[in-house]
Structure 1
Amino acid sequence: MPDITTLPIYPPAQDGDHGDEAIPSHPLGVKPSGNALLASWSLRSAIGSFQLLPDDLILLLLEELDAPSLLRIGRTCKAFYAFTRAEELWKALFVGSPPATFTWRGSWRSTYLNLPASKVPMVDCSHLYSDALYRPFNCAHIVLDPYVTKIPARNQIPRLSDLSPGEFHEKWADTPFVLTEPVKSWPVYKDWTVGTLLGRYGQGTFRAEAVDWPLRTYGDYMADNADESPLYLFDCGFVSKMGLAVGAPESTPNAAYWPPACFAEDLFSVVGSDRPDHQWLIVGPERSGSKFHKDPNATSAWNAVIRGPKYWIMFPSGDKRPPPPGVYVSDDQSEVTSPLSIAEWLLNFHAEARRTAGCMEGICGEGEILHVPSGWWHLVVNLEASIAITQNFIPRAHLGAALDFLSNKADQVSGFRKNVVNPYEKFISGMRETYPELLEQALEELQKKAEGKKRKWDDIVHGKAEGETEEQNAGGFSFGFGDDSDVEVP
């Protein structure tokens, strides 16, 4: 990932295209590195030989220390106090060894050390100039509105009231879109707020990234945090934890919600209880969300907003398409590298992304549901405190993609229980029993694609140009591998 541009001289403000609201002062007075150019002295000189190291390296070294060591180093000088106050250090300590009982106190450091606000000293570090320390604070306070408004007409995600299954399969399975009506008939849409969830399920434990917290504790976190990347509740077991009935209301008494008709067909259902995780409750504060990713196992997805609007920016993928700006992918696409946070990506790459071919953007509001086609890159950020339900599924249009992924990227398959030894064979067996014709069609299409790729490779290996006959090519140049065997090329 390229280096992030040095932040502007303090106090920074967004440029003319991104609003005029200035970022507030850092709580310790730390300023961006650029301010050192005009400073007569710096607190950094007090750290001795450590001043020879880049700030990012100092933070990496501090990651190796336990809490007592961080506290001792922080008492040596103001500069080290500021470095040891970095929230990511204390978040890592908390996640690695969470206290048996705790009260959220507004920051990871205060929570880990059980410090009330009155016991947290506010040391004046206004002569410390560090992008590494200032950047997370800057990112935690950027104004989102300039990035999510004035969406170019060419980028706007289509909005429809509803779709029939036939319309979806014939025209819309490969395109993102927002449906504005189906969710509004769900009982959970009419009933759920952050307050009602906390009242009913506050003592229940839910998964929020790397921690399992009572919902009440997560509610305290939502109401009072200043994280660059706020913790995101993303729980795949919520249906059973909350005792919800899910299914079409005509067949499921007291149904809490159900997929819209156009998403009702889900071919992954053929594996029954062995299917991978596919339903999630998503709850998060403003600025929380998901960095660029594709949904697992080549599935499509729908994401229904119950409370709080979400901004989406999306890109199609393919063999000849690069990933979104600022996103770097390994050759087998198993590893994705991108900026540390959504805010950092918005600051550095959003303008370029908006100009990139294929970019689609939109806001999915309360009572609306967004379709994510298989293979599409997407970044999502909550514009307010949000509640959503999402579900992954395989429509018939993307059966081939799912089969290809399960078969050829077995090391990247996720969500299955450990007792499912061969997900591909499990899926094939279920499809053969329930949808044999669809399965045969998809397998034939995959075979044709594989043969087409092999023919192209053979043409390259043997030097045959497009449209050239065998006789014309007889004396041409070719290269091989030293024998006459067919070589399978990945």
Structure 2
Amino acid sequence: MPDITSLDNHTRDGESITNVYSSSFPESSLQDVSGPDAIPGHPLGVKPSGNALLAEENLRAAIGTFKSLPDELISMLLESLDGPSLLRIGQTCKAFYAFTRAEDLWKALFIGSPPTSFTWKGTWRSTYLNIPPSKAAILDCSSLYSDALHRPFYCAHISLDPYVKNIPARNQIARLSNLSPEEFQDKWSDKPFILTEPVKEWPVYRKWTIDSLLSQHAETVFRAEAVDWPFKTYVEYMKNNSDESPLYLFDRAFVPKMGLKVGQPDEEPEAAYWPPPCFGEDFFSVLGNERPDRQWVIIGPERSGSTFHKDPNATSAWNAVIRGSKYWIMFPSSSKLPPPPGVYVSDDQSEVTSPLSIAEWLLGFHAEARRTSGCIEGICGEGEILHVPSGWWHLVVNIEPAIAITQNFIPRTHLTAALDFLSNKADQISGFRKDVQNPYERFVSNMRETHPELLEQALAELRKKTEGKKRKWDEIVHGKTEQDGDGDASGAGGFSFGFGDDGSDVEVP
């Protein structure tokens, strides 16, 4: 057993850190795999906290005064330290060594001050410290019991199969071969569905793979959440990481970066892809270059994805899978329905709080969600495209490494919802350039020039909705209104939540 104080010695040389490591355990010695879907043992041997009840030894006793603090608080305190400080405190005892090995600590340091050049080495810690994987020390911390340390590792290795298979028939997302614009507008604009044929006509469907993109765009820099990496670096990360929530490449500027042409093939013969005709109507197009962000390329490894959210600015969206497959679970949004299980929303819906990772939500809430009214699920496979209606909650996770293209749009049936959002939730508007002042007025002005009749219809619906909110508020506060009764307000029923069943979906102010 090496002297723990000899581990992680380092010196700063400009922007790099040079480390000398010794290893007392091979990387695989603490693994315990008993089946194809079994969770491997924690690389340091850390166990869930419940195991401490029968343990004869607990390494936590060695951290002195800190042992009175919850593990979560210790982790929060360590977040305030820089790299050298984490290394020094990690040298004091095995328990602190395990706490300072938490990947989220090193990921935050890397993102906060990324090296000018680096090679991905399998973990955020090794990459930040520039440690060859073979030199990463593994100490036996098998007498340390901590959910805070064990659970992220556990969540990073759970099998997705129990959650994405055996979808109840009542929950299945509808699957169609194709839709006409008229069919979409009449029957499907408010429903999620999967189309199985249109994407297979796209040139990118025939040409794009990870390897083909790598051969053409290895040095192209793409946005992957909080980092901007050359594609070759992201592919190295994609193929070799153990993050609980793997980075998701999600780039809004991929079309110019990749030199792509987009448009209907009869108008743009060299188009790489085009929206299916049923999604062709998009009223944000009246803003031209002032429109908000609308199209993204999405690439990620298995387990990467997006936790529950609604699409921005009350838009609808389509998501086309070029390679791989994605699992979707979705819920309608309504003032009469709560958000999905495990999701908590502020009164104005501007703040959404949910578990930190997709895996943690699956572990804790998926079974309840599957039984919840309105839940629908499905797998969008290679060459298929999924419709996300405006306002629907959705979580999506890659079942395997995947490439996808997504685009947001405003169809005719959701024009009123978009006007309502832009007018009444200005603080939640996103995706516009900073120089675009008052998006609502810009949008209304341009719509009045290009689609005056549709605009007036939508504004009339919006006024009716606003009046409905006021009327319902008056009913709550004052009881029956004069118009609804015999003019005698003295006999009103007082405070009431009896909204009736008019099919409307309005929020009480």
Report the TM-score when normalising by structure 1. 0.93
Q: Does residue 340 in structure 1 map to residue 356 in structure 2?
A: yes
Aligned twin of 1:251:
267
Quote the residue 1:227 is aligned against.
Answer: 243
Aligned to 1:294: 310
Equivalent of 2:162 in 130, 139, 146: 146
CA deviations over 1:401-439 (Å, ceiling 9, x no partner): 000000000000000001101100111111111111111
- What secondary structure, in the 3-state scheme, does the structure 2 residue paired with 1:349 have? helix
Deviation of the 1:458 alpha carbon: 2.2
* Cross-structure match for 1:399: 415
For 1:97 and 1:120, how far apart are their aligned partners in 2? 22
Q: CA deviation at 1:276?
A: 0.4
Please give the alpha-carbon distance, in whole angstroms, between the structure 2 residues aligned to 1:388 and 1:230.
Answer: 16
Task: Map 1:204-353 onto structure 2 (within 5 A).
Answer: 204-353=220-369
Question: Which of 457, 467, 475 is the matching residue for 1:451?
Answer: 467
Which secondary structure does the structure 1 equivalent of 2:138 belong to?
coil
The CA deviation string for residues 213-251 of structure 1, in whole angstroms up to 9 with x for no partner, is 000000000000000000000000000000000000110
Partner of 1:434: 450
Residue 460 of structure 1: CA displacement? Answer: 3.2
Letter of the aligned partner of 2:330 in structure 1? M
Question: What does the per-residue CA deviation read over 1:35-71, in whole Å, with 9 as the maximum and x for residues that have no partner?
Answer: 1111111011011110100000000000000000000
> Which runs of no fewer than 5 residues in structure 2 stay unpaired?
1-29, 496-507
Q: For the Cα contact (< 8 Å) 1:270–1:427, is it kept in 2?
A: yes
Residue equivalent to 1:201: 217
SS in 2 for 1:245: coil
Kindly state the Cα deviation for residue 449 of structure 1 after the two structures are TM-superposed: 1.2
* Corresponding residue number in structure 1 for 2:151: 135
Q: 1:180 aligns with which of 187, 192, 196?
A: 196
Aligned mates of 1:151, 1:111 — CA distance in 2: 40
Indicate if the aligned counterparts of 1:11 and 1:23 stay in contact, CA closer than 8 A.
no
SS at match of 1:281: strand
- The residue type equivalent to 1:392 in the other structure is N
Q: Is contact 2:31–2:42 with CA below 8 Å preserved after alignment?
A: no
Q: Structure 1's 30 and 440: CA in aligned 2 closer, same or farther, altered over 3 A?
A: same
State the alpha-carbon separation in 1 of the partners of residues 166 and 414 from structure 2. 33
How many angstroms does 1:271 deviate by?
Answer: 0.2
Deviations 1:195-222 (CA, angstroms, capped at 9, x unpaired): 1111100101000000000000000000
Q: 2 CA distance for matches of 1:299 and 1:260? A: 17
Whether contact under 8 Å (1:11, 1:22) holds in the other structure is no
Q: Percent identity?
A: 74
CA contact (8 A) 1:279 1:389 kept: yes
Would you say the 8 A contact 1:42–1:129 is kept in 2? Answer: yes
Which residue of 133, 138, 146 maps to 1:117?
133
The separation in 1 between residues aligned to 2:361 and 2:476, in whole angstroms, is 40
CA distance 1:333–1:11, shift in 2 (3 Å)? farther
Residue 366 (structure 1) aligned to one of 357, 376, 382: 382
Structure 1: gaps spanning 5 or more residues: 1-9, 480-488
Deviations 1:80-124 (A, max 9, x none): 000000000000000000000000000000000000012211110
What is the CA–CA distance in structure 1 between the aligned matches of 2:264 and 2:483, rounded to whole Å?
55
The alignment partner of 1:352 has SS state of helix
Instruction: Provide the aligned length of Structure 1 versus Structure 2.
Output: 468
Instruction: Output the TM-score relative to the length of structure 2.
Output: 0.89
Cα RMSD for the two superposed structures: 1.9
Looking at structure 1, the residues matched to 482 and 104 of structure 2 have their Cα atoms a distance apart, in angstroms, of 56
Q: Deviations over 1:138-161 (max 9, x none)?
A: 000000011000000000000000
Tell whether the 8 Å contact from 1:91 to 1:109 is kept in structure 2 after alignment.
yes
Q: What are the residue-to-residue correspondences of 1:82-93 with 2, within 5 Å?
A: 82-93=98-109
Show the counterpart of 2:56: 40
